[in-house]
């Protein structure tokens, strides 16, 4: 074939340029169309968009902690009750107004009853828990689990809680005996403590995390929250393209973590079946809920079978195995799992933030110690469940810690039914995801003057009564508020009461002021929190 014939068979330069230009124009118009979603609806947005990353480029590349990315979006929407923003090209809505937050999370909950992290059992065998369940199934499970965190149930767990505090006491006594190990990274120490508490109160197991550096439970806890590129990609997919997770068969939980929890649960349940003594822990409560449900279902099945036999005069209709059981083994395992991961890391982070603030503010620590000693005197030197409830200033200190540094700094809801925003013409479409930046809300001087200052008095007396409803939501709000809130508060008050009663807390050479935060964490989590403990010598 001649060279002239070859050249004539190739596309002309003009044709190539035309194809490239057409494709470029298509991409430009496509992106403009995507980024005009909120503009077309008259919704304000932050000023700059980083194409194609939207308003969360730093989050995508993990250069800035998630907490501060969404605080920036919140701040740039100043003067508006809500505003739109984009992650890549997907539109999201930021809710800023406390009254509107109450409306969405409480009054109009039926339009926003699901979170945005729905998981199927294809993604994980531990996915059927309160955080990811949706619709009526979530409502049914929540209803059955709510009584497990009653005052009576918490009071029954106080013995298990005290055993864990005793382990911490032994550790700190040895660490401060000669002063050499009195400097502690309390982020890690409190994670070990809360792991032991969850192990005891959830599974009835001695995790031994404080004494044993190689504790399997602590290793698994680190693995769950260990930042990785794979976990980051899965998180992006869950937010932006949840169907892609299923299509690519991406696992939402590390297989090693799944295997560990299934093994622990099966071994624990098997042990309890052959043991007469029952424990007052979360797993036992789940087992009893399941057993009661099976008993009730079988009873109804037998009644239906007897009625059918009476009517038809032939074969028995009783069912041997119950159908439509809500609390299957998967639901039991999933909720035990979520109680573990939601319970140890967030509580440990709050405790480490609180100890950090007490080290920076010795006058607050002294006032807290005075209250603890006063309550102990009224209860014969003991701090049982009823005594802990009387620590009013302690609760204010914890509340201020949660205001200043909420470990879960973001609330997310998905619109499940089209909703018209009050006093506007905007109709939020079904499937739209709403964000509330808890951290930004807690740091808005409109609601909390001098937000960077640690002032427990905000949560005492008239000051507490004057807090704008919807502006302080460290545990969420509405029917999906954290179910274990009372347990977490009881745990934190119990261990802090012991620490401030027996030690003074100080900054040291390793203390980072201000704290540095992990840009790869999904929580508002400092890299390290170092303080020094000094044993109080009583005459």
Q: Which of 439, 477, 472, 440 is nearest to 458 (CA)?
A: 472
Structure-token match 């404080």, residue found: 210
Q: Which residues pair with 504 in a beta bridge?
A: 534
> What's the DSSP call for residue 66?
H
Q: Which two tokens stand for residue 464?
A: 């507490």
Structure-token match 């079978």, residue found: 305
Q: Which two tokens stand for residue 15?
A: 């044709």
Structure-token match 């479409």, residue found: 429
**Exposure string over 391-403, b if 16+ CB within 10 A, otherwise e:** bebbbbbbbbbbb
Structure-token match 């802990």, residue found: 388
How many CA atoms lie within 13 Å of 517's alpha carbon, on the beta-carbon side? 20
Distance, in Å, from the CA atom of 221 to the CA atom of 256, rounded to the nearest integer, reads 12
Q: Which two tokens stand for residue 400?
A: 């201020």
Beta carbons of 528 and 184 less than 8 angstroms apart: no
Beta carbons of 117 and 485 less than 8 angstroms apart: no
Phi, psi torsion values for 519, nearest 5 degrees: -70, -10
Alpha-carbon distance values, 400 to 231, 281, 351, 352, 446 (Å): 31, 29, 12, 13, 16
Beta carbons of 221 and 198 less than 8 angstroms apart: no
Q: What angle do CA 358, 380, 359 make, to 5 degrees?
A: 5
354 carries a ligand binding annotation? no
Handedness of CA 482, 350, 132, 107 (dihedral sign): positive
Distance, in Å, from the CA atom of 437 to the CA atom of 72, rounded to the nearest integer, reads 10
Please name the helix (run of DSSP H) or strand (run of DSSP E) that holds residue 530, with its range, or none. Answer: strand 530-535
Binding site per annotation, positions for heme: 482
């Amino acid at each position: 074939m001649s060279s002239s014939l070859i050249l004539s068979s190739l596309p002309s330069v003009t044709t190539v340029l035309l194809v490239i230009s057409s494709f470029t124009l298509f991409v430009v118009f496509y992106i403009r169309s995507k980024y005009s979603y909120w503009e077309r609806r008259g919704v304000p947005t932050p000023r700059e968009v980083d194409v194609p990353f939207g308003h969360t480029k730093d989050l995508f590349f993990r250069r800035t902690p998630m907490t501060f990315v969404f605080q920036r979006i919140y701040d740039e929407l100043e003067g508006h009750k809500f505003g739109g923003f984009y992650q890549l090209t997907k539109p999201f809505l930021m809710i800023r107004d406390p009254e509107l937050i109450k409306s969405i999370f409480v009054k109009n909950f039926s339009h926003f009853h699901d979170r945005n992290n729905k998981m199927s059992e294809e993604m994980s065998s531990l996915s059927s828990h309160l955080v990811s369940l949706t619709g009526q199934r979530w409502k049914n499970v929540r209803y059955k689990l709510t009584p497990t965190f009653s005052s009576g149930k918490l009071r029954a767990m106080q013995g298990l809680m005290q055993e864990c505090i005793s382990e911490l006491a032994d550790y700190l006594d040895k660490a401060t005996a000669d002063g050499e190990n009195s400097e502690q990274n309390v982020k890690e120490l409190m994670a070990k403590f809360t792991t032991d508490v969850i192990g005891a109160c959830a599974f009835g197991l001695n995790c031994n995390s404080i004494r044993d550096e190689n504790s399997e439970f602590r290793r698994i806890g680190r693995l769950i929250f260990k930042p990785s590129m794979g976990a980051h990609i899965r998180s992006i997919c869950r937010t932006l393209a949840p169907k892609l997770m299923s299509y690519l068969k991406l696992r939402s939980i590390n297989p090693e973590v799944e295997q560990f929890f299934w093994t622990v649960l099966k071994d624990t349940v098997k042990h309890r079946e052959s043991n007469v003594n029952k424990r007052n822990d979360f797993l036992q409560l789940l087992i009893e809920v399941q057993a009661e449900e099976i008993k009730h279902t079988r009873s109804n099945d037998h009644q239906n079978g007897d009625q059918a036999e009476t009517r038809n005069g032939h074969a028995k209709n009783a069912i041997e195995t119950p159908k439509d059981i809500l609390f299957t083994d998967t639901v039991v395992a999933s909720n035990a799992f979520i109680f573990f991961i939601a319970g140890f890391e967030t509580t440990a982070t709050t405790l480490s933030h609180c100890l950090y603030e007490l080290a920076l503010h010795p006058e607050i620590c002294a006032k807290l110690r005075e209250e603890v000693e006063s309550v102990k005197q009224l209860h014969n030197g003991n701090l049982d469940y009823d005594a802990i409830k009387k620590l009013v200033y302690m609760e204010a200190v914890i509340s201020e810690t949660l205001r200043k540094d909420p470990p879960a700094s973001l609330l997310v809801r998905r619109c499940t039914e089209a909703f018209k925003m009050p006093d506007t013409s905007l109709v939020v479409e079904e499937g739209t995801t709403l964000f509330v930046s808890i951290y930004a809300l807690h740091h808005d001087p409109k609601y909390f003057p001098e937000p960077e200052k640690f002032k427990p008095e905000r949560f005492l007396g008239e000051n507490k009564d004057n807090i704008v409803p919807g502006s302080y939501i460290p545990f969420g709000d509405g029917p999906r508020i954290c179910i274990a809130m009372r347990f977490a508060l009881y745990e934190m008050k119990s261990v802090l009461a012991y620490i401030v009663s027996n030690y003074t807390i100080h900054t040291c050479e390793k203390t980072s002021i201000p704290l540095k935060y992990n840009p790869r964490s999904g929580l508002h989590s400092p890299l390290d929190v170092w303080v020094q403990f000094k044993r109080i010598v009583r005459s």
